Structure 1
Amino acid sequence: MKRVLAALVLVAAALAQVQYATWDGTRQKVDERLIKAFGEATGVRVAYNLVPWGTYWQKASAMVAGGTTFDVMWMNLDNFPFYASQKALSPIPLSAEARNALPKGALDLYTVRGQVLGLPLGPQVVTVYINRKLFQERGVPIPKDSWTFEEMREAAKRLTFTRPDGKKVWGINAMDLQVDTEYGMAFYYSNGGTGLIRKVGDRYEANLDEAFQDTARRLLDLIYVDRVSPGPQDSTLQGYQLFQAGQMGIYVLGSWMTEVWKATPDLDWAFAPLPVMRKGLEPVGVYSVHALVVPAASKNKEGAYRLAEWYTTSPQSQRILAGAGLMPTLAEGYRSTYLQALPGRNGDVVFRQLPRMVVRHADVRNLSNLPEVLDALHSAMNLAWTGNLPLDKAIEKARADMNALLRNSKPLW
């Protein structure tokens, strides 16, 4: 009997524990601090599950099957419409205070027919980083408030050289800036782009317009014309590894990379503004808008609801995130904490981007086959980025492949 009771106690404890899952290992230490703080504040136990991106969505398929799943999961906007349409997500009963605190635009993206299905995480905006030591070594002016794309390009040229020991130093990570990705699209929107899919009457079609073509050409030239960025065969290291190693002067990715830079204390990095792409146009940042969702198959919904709301709105969680140099959901309210965590890094430039942020494909997020359309676009453009197809041919292929799929697109709600 005692053994049976002990087993029941263990089962009950396991059920009471909230299973939290994420793919983002760059912020593991911060996540673990948040989970500890939440447990101390609420008495609810949370288990941290870091699942590699390659297998994360396989695990997430249990949300649709209705089988065993995590209780709180990270979600991105590319995949959200599918899970929402399959009724795999549980509506989150927000308190009035939390609903009013969360940024409405981001919350609306995860709201379907009046039901909140996801709570937005911090504004993970596309960001430019620079290695100040390299800039100073090469006599390149350090941009603080504004610079143009041409100035960035010229800086990348001066930052590309070979050291006496044979190590190559590169100007910028243009291989990460494929024009259809969130990083490349920050340049596209800054260049006057309005969206890669448009509605015409009751149908949809690809909108790979002049802004798209011009942006793609300028970014691609950094690799194959100016040769200031490593191409597909030029380095065994990824862009962030080159930047960490002092072998890259300009690096463009997301604002969450501050956690990665902490692993290299001697790296003299700072934020730089997104470049002006066209005279008269302000740079436009791209906002990822990841969210926390509660699968309908969760075995501990009450604990999951509490964790998701606390994580995205509580002053304690927001202070922890901002104090670690990560953008909290309620970013503006914790600006000073964020800047104090990153002294002398020109962090104000990130906040200046926030009012002009856009969400990629926000107006067509609920298209039934949007992931397939975006995959077709990415595959075609990748042929140009890897040097296997001229840019005009890649765009022609992307347009044809997208339109073939868009003919069958319909809104999910």
Structure 2
Amino acid sequence: MLRRAITRRGAAALAVAATAALAMSACSGSGSNGGDGEDVTITYGIWDENQQPAMEEIASAFTEEHPNVTVDIQLTPYKEYFTKLQTSVSGGSAPDVFWMNGPNFQLYASNGVLAPLDDQGIDAADYPQGLIDLYTYDGALYGAPKDFDTVALWYNKELFDAAGVAYPEAGWTWDDLKAAAAKLTDPAKGQYGIAASQYGQENFYNSIAQAGGEVIDADGTESGYGSPEALAGIELWTDLIEAGSSPTAQQMTDTNPEDFFLSGKVAMFQNGSWAAVAYADNADIADKVDVAPLAEGATGNQSVIHGIGNVANAKSEHVDVAKQFAAFASSEQAAEIQAETGTVIPAFNGTQQAWVDALPQYDLQVYIDALDTAVAYPVSKNTSAWTSIESEVLAQVWAGTVSPEEGLQQLAEQMQAALDAESE
């Protein structure tokens, strides 16, 4: 899950500072290991309180196999996680094993912070290829895929029934989505068909792929925002706002877009697989909603795939043990523990059914089926350097102060300059 607030003007400077700090940290640390049978305690950095019980169970299972090893879990809320991680890496006190996400991965891998895991017997075929690609750098695997999330379309059955609109289903097109959104909009009630939020992972990263475009090329060196396909993927959302089928950009700034859905003021909301547990636990909507595949654009209904990777600190005093635990925490045994909680979809192939079964009231299979055509989350060596630009320019596009055509031209040029600077 990556929908996080970005400080626009400061992000680029922060990214440069982070690169320098990580580079310095790569020169320090002994990397020594405890001998066989020596009592060892390793630390495991995570950011999700909801997943902590499962992580503790996974840590206990590892200790059962390695009685001399204790795993100490360190929980840091996501908002502070990467700031704290950068500081701890620079100071030589980073966790031995920690969670990593796609946008930050290459920055850490390229600066020697992470230990390669290729010698841990990890079989790439056991995981979605998009996640293996996401956590591979210079041909080496540095992150063991722990879980994944894809995106689907949640809808309020009560609002659909009241408007006499058929529920979303496989094969729905963008035109079907727009038509339904218009029918579900009732200005007198302050009700909208959909929330066309300025969210990349949940919204426009998917629609750009569905139009046949890309945010960034596979090498992470070329911006895709200058293409007609990218423009089509953006205009899907801005057209919905212009048509009045979605709250305005200002409304979605004043009020979290998801809150419109939770309060019954929006009939449809695209969201990641992490939303299933949250919606099931929400008494106001739990029995009113269900989920369907994304609508199809010119080339299909592709979803972005992302997921957390377990990585080992290359400068850990117990780096061999750290690498073993990173691999174990992404193993089939660990995946089965995760799946039973229903909080996330485990990355290990063949273990996802338990997650689907955990909430049988929803058609969660759509998230698993999305793997067939999923596209990798867009990243580069220093992702935050251009996502800050992306956020700032697209905010103007969503607000209507800059046209989509002009905004994407600006974004393509500025993003390319940031990408070119990465290779200097």
- TM-score, normalised to structure 2's length? 0.79
> 1:210 offset after TM fit, Å?
0.6
Q: Residue in 2 aligned with 1:55?
A: 80
The reply on whether 1:346 has 2:346 as its aligned counterpart is no
The reply on whether 1:172 has 2:190 as its aligned counterpart is no
One-letter code aligned to 1:117: Y
Matches within 5 A, 1:33-44: 33-35=57-59, 37-39=61-63, 42-43=66-67, 44=69
How many residues of Structure 1 are paired with residues of Structure 2 in the alignment? 381
> 1:39 offset after TM fit, Å?
4.9
With over 3 angstroms needed to count, the CA separation of the structure-2 counterparts of 1:282 and 1:306, relative to structure 1, is: same
One-letter code aligned to 2:365: D
> 1:187 offset after TM fit, Å?
1.0
One-letter code aligned to 1:373: W
> 1:213 offset after TM fit, Å?
0.9
1:272 corresponds to which of 292, 301, 323: 292
Cα-to-partner distance string for 1:331-387 (whole Å, 9 max, x where unaligned): 4x124323322214122222221111111346xx34xx5432333233212221234
Q: How far apart, in 1, do the equivalents of 2:178 and 2:50 lie?
A: 29
Q: Residue in 2 aligned with 1:313?
A: 331
Moved more, 232-241 or 214-223: 232-241
Q: Which runs of 5+ in 1 are unaligned?
A: 1-14
Q: How far apart, in 1, do the equivalents of 2:150 and 2:96 lie?
A: 27
8 A contact 2:43–2:73 mirrored in 1: yes
Look up the SS of the partner of 1:271 in the other structure. strand
One-letter code aligned to 1:283: N
Q: How far apart, in 1, do the equivalents of 2:203 and 2:54 lie?
A: 24
Matches within 5 A, 1:7-406: 16-25=40-49, 27-35=51-59, 37-39=61-63, 42-43=66-67, 44-62=69-87, 64-92=89-117, 94-96=119-121, 98=123, 101-161=126-186, 168-178=190-200, 181=201, 183-197=203-217, 204=222, 207-233=225-251, 236-265=254-283, 267-268=286-287, 269-278=289-298, 281-315=299-333, 317-325=334-342, 326-331=344-349, 333-361=350-378, 365-366=380-381, 369-406=382-419
With over 3 angstroms needed to count, the CA separation of the structure-2 counterparts of 1:224 and 1:38, relative to structure 1, is: farther
One-letter code aligned to 1:322: A
8 A contact 2:146–2:335 mirrored in 1: no
> 1:398 offset after TM fit, Å?
1.1
Q: Which runs of 5+ in 2 are unaligned?
A: 1-38
Q: How far apart, in 1, do the equivalents of 2:253 and 2:138 lie?
A: 48
Q: How far apart, in 2, do the equivalents of 1:41 and 1:98 lie?
A: 20
With over 3 angstroms needed to count, the CA separation of the structure-2 counterparts of 1:383 and 1:88, relative to structure 1, is: same
Look up the SS of the partner of 1:175 in the other structure. coil
With over 3 angstroms needed to count, the CA separation of the structure-2 counterparts of 1:33 and 1:383, relative to structure 1, is: farther
With over 3 angstroms needed to count, the CA separation of the structure-2 counterparts of 1:393 and 1:106, relative to structure 1, is: same
Cα-to-partner distance string for 1:147-186 (whole Å, 9 max, x where unaligned): 11121222223333368xx6x43322211445xx563111
With over 3 angstroms needed to count, the CA separation of the structure-2 counterparts of 1:308 and 1:184, relative to structure 1, is: same
One-letter code aligned to 1:184: F
One-letter code aligned to 2:142: L
> 1:118 offset after TM fit, Å?
1.0
Look up the SS of the partner of 1:106 in the other structure. helix
Q: Residue in 2 aligned with 1:8?
A: none
One-letter code aligned to 1:19: T
One-letter code aligned to 2:415: M
With over 3 angstroms needed to count, the CA separation of the structure-2 counterparts of 1:370 and 1:244, relative to structure 1, is: closer
Q: How far apart, in 2, do the equivalents of 1:29 and 1:146 lie?
A: 38
Q: Residue in 1 aligned with 2:36?
A: none
One-letter code aligned to 2:417: A
One-letter code aligned to 1:18: I
8 A contact 2:340–2:354 mirrored in 1: yes
8 A contact 1:177–1:219 mirrored in 2: no
One-letter code aligned to 2:143: G
One-letter code aligned to 2:209: Y
Look up the SS of the partner of 1:171 in the other structure. strand
Q: How far apart, in 2, do the equivalents of 1:174 and 1:38 lie?
A: 44
